[in-house]
Structure 1
Amino acid sequence: MPIPRPLGTLEVQDCLLIGLTVRSLVASAHKAGIGAYALDLFSDLDTREKSVKSLTVDYDGRGLRSGSLFACIDKLDPNEKLPVVYAGGFEHNPIQIERIAESRKILGNSASVLAELKNPKLFSNTVSKLGIPAPRTRFDGPESSSVWLYKNAGGSGGLEVRRATEFDFECSADNYYQEFKSGQIVTATVLCTDKYTQIVGFSEQWCAESHSDGEFIYGGAVALSSKSLESNIRSSIENAAALLADHYQFRGLVSLDTIVQNNEWWLLEVNPRPGATFELHEGAESFLAAHCLAFCDQSPTLKSVTNMGEFTAHSVIYASNALTLPSDWEWPMWVRDRAAPGESFEPGDPVCTAYATAGSSEIARNAVEDRHHHIVDMIGKLR
């Protein structure tokens, strides 16, 4: 069990980490000596090894099933003492965060902030008022389906995004259209405190190949050098992050997903919690500890390992068919989110994540793609 130690003027304590997957947060907690109690859909080997205790929560098709979630919370923290950091998985149901906050301290942005960010009408209006470039959003049938995406509000990981067709033109309260923009999918990892907003680093995302749930499923990402973006683009995104942080009163780690094309960029969405790519910038310094400090009236700063010429990429491997890992299964050392031997998967399920680190983004991405295909070949022989 990790031993808590001082960080700044805060005594780092045990923490309850909750989300669809919290493995990267657990690893970050371990670096800081924070005792992690983990709740997610997988409770994989990496999570179990670096947490004090972990439990698996049931999935409801979009996020965490409420009955299972709160039963697991009570089991891990019966005395209601642990502060909570949440990851992705609450976008469609922020009320769960609100309910957790009734009995526990949330080291995260409020449920009301999350709800407003995931309300496409409110978010679109705010972005427009702040003068931040963004794709057009519509709530009725667009004039042409060829340049529009059809989205469900509160979706995450690209699971509820597809290209619009002529049959999609009726919107409910949960559906909307967003203008399609081609280009680099660039994520900014941002640390917000009461004194400043700091972009820690940028990363480029890509979509999974041939996934049964659509063409926009999260496939992976690679850390970028800040110099890989034009200086005016970088400055504009930094300014947008500061405007958004001031408007929503963000604290801790948040992420901005953008599209960059030549000398233009557009904001797609904002996640007011640690995103899927923060770990690509993390070295020995715990980003989770900095996130927690920001909610305790502290003003930490962070440095991306890209500043030292270290670029990491990760790539999610999904099952292409139903399979079960044999009892003697062994993962390569560069794999994380490792499932235990004997675990079964259905087509489309995430199986593991491959990682690679190199001296440039290009080399890291090429290396992780090779490792991705190696794992695909390994599991392709299983049934």
Structure 2
Amino acid sequence: MSGTVVVAGLCARPLAESARAAGWRAIALDLFGDADTRRASLRWHRIGDPAAGAIDPALLRHALQRAAREPGVLGWVAGSGFEAIPDLLATRIPGLPLRGMEAAAVRQVREPAAFFARLDALGLPHPEVSFDPPLADEGWLVKRAAGSGGWHIRHAGEAAGGGCYWQRIQPGEPMSALFLADGSRARVVALNRLVVRPLGKLPYVYMGAIGPIRDEALAPRLEQALAALVPAFGLRGLASLDFVARQGHPCLLEINPRPSASMVLHGDAWPGGLLRAHVRAVDGELPRDAPSPAPGVRGCLTVFATRPCRVGLALSGELAQSPHCHDLPAPGAYFTPGEPVCTVSTAAGSADAVLVDLDVRAGQVLHRLSPCEELVA
């Protein structure tokens, strides 16, 4: 199958690169239009303001309508950013079918009361949750149902607003299972360790992933959980299950019913890449063979600005030439504290070694950013 696929999300680069690996042309729709996203794409269209960190529904619809006129277009794939606006997944564009989970199914997965009630019915472990503020704030978090990436998580006691729920803090290692599903069955691609750290006042922001993590105790328990979850929610395509691991036991947090950023670590799991596997899984076909084990361990880490800064011309050129830098900003791009600058990657023999190397690479980028005192409010 050849043709053009439209990929949309907050950052479409992983999807666009996976489309190219599948032999497809990609039309990328995202907020940033980074250099490598454009390089992997036939065309790029902005669908939101990077400063707002959200997809603009009107811009998305317009971009999808334009893309539908592309000869040989196969459909569109939704990545991150639709958690808060699942109704956009119900957008019907003639000649451009959605290749992924439908809006109604996504709402069911992302609605906390229904999701955790289903986990209880299936006998699957999860942290204690409440839909009313706890009597004592200590040991609790407040989360927004429509959030993603940890940007919606606060310590209990802070302003909550509508659409929030409370969850008891669960000790352990934050992890995820990247998997394919056909509506009734699942095939695990890999287990990943999530790099989750404080950012400003936010206590748990997703910054990257490391994998594959090989754990003989965890793996069968995650497969059993997914064997129950996939038919219960009708999950289809490439998705991820987030959990906290402790002593070989997973405590489930949420399902992201769309291609996860961790897909960049496992692009060679099957010939043709993960986006092709995603489209086939949506159509009801899982790979017959187990994923090819990648040598060693891989990792990626988002570099966030720690001060007002910009990317100078020399640094921009160096980042573009490095095989370990991704989501490449344009020369002269400005960043305020907490904004993502780029992503770094590496590979090593262990997860701990990967994390050390990622932090070194991130520090090198931060050191080279030019300070911009004029950006200080």
Normalising by structure 2, we get a TM-score of 0.90
Q: Does 1:310 align with 2:296?
A: yes
Output the amino acid matched with 2:204.
F
Q: Which one of the candidate residues 125, 150, 153 is aligned to 1:158?
A: 150
Measured after TM superposition, the shift of residue 117 of structure 1 is 1.4
Q: Give the deviation of 1:301 after TM superposition.
A: 4.6
Matched residues, percent identical?
Answer: 27
Does structure 2 conserve the Cα–Cα contact (< 8 Å) formed by 1:287 and 1:302? no
The residue that corresponds to 1:124 in the other structure is 116
Report the equivalent of 2:196: 207
The equivalent of 2:91 in structure 1 is 99
> What's the CA shift string for 1:335-372, capped at 9, x where partnerless?
00111112222221111000001232222222112111
Tell me: CA distance 1:181–1:333, structure 2 relative to 1, closer, same or farther (3 Å): same
Q: Structure 2 vs 1, CA of residues 129 and 155 (structure 1 numbering), >3 Å: closer, same or farther? A: same
Moved over 6 A (4+): none
Structure 1 residues 350, 100: CA separation in 2 closer, same or farther (over 3 Å shift)? Answer: farther
Unaligned runs of 5+ in 1: 1-10
> Any idea what the Cα deviations from partners look like across 1:69-113, whole Å, max 9, x if unmatched?
212222333469540110010101111111146763111011111
Distance apart, 1:248 and its partner CA: 1.4
Paired residue secondary structure (2:54): coil
Letter in 1 for 2:66: K
CA RMSD of aligned residues (A): 2.2
State the 1:304 CA deviation. 4.8
What's the offset of the Cα at 1:14?
Answer: 0.9
Take 1:100 and 1:321, find their aligned partners in 2: how far apart are those partners?
42
Post-superposition offset of 1:67: 1.5
In 1, Cα distance between equivalents of 2:248 and 2:166: 24
Number of the residue aligned with 1:4 = none
CA distance in 1, matches of 2:370, 2:247: 38
Q: Take 1:101 and 1:300, find their aligned partners in 2: how far apart are those partners?
A: 29
- Residue 279 of structure 2 corresponds to 292
Structure 2 match to 1:6: none
Matched with 2:261 is: 276
Tell me by how many angstroms 1:376 deviates.
1.4
Q: Give 1:39 deviation, angstroms.
A: 0.2
Residue 302 to residue 203, structure 1, CA distance change in 2 (3 Å): farther
**Paired letter, 1:88:** S
Q: Tell me the alpha carbon deviations over residues 135-181 of structure 1, each in whole angstroms, 9 at most, x when there is no partner.
A: 1111112132111111111101100101112x55xx65411101110
For the pair 1:66 / 2:57, whether they are aligned, the reply is yes
Deviation track 1:245-287 (CA, whole Å, cap 9, x = no partner) reads 1111212111000001124321000011111112212226411
Contact 1:18 1:87 in 2 (8 A): yes
**Residues 348 and 28 of structure 1: CA distance in aligned 2, closer, same or farther (over 3 Å):** same
Q: 1:75 to 1:323 in 2, by over 3 A?
A: farther
Determine the C-alpha separation between the residues in 2 that align with 1:303 and 1:274. 19
Query: What amino acid does structure 2 have at the position aligned with 1:316?
Result: T
What TM-score, normalized to structure 1?
Answer: 0.89
* 3-state DSSP of counterpart to 1:221: strand
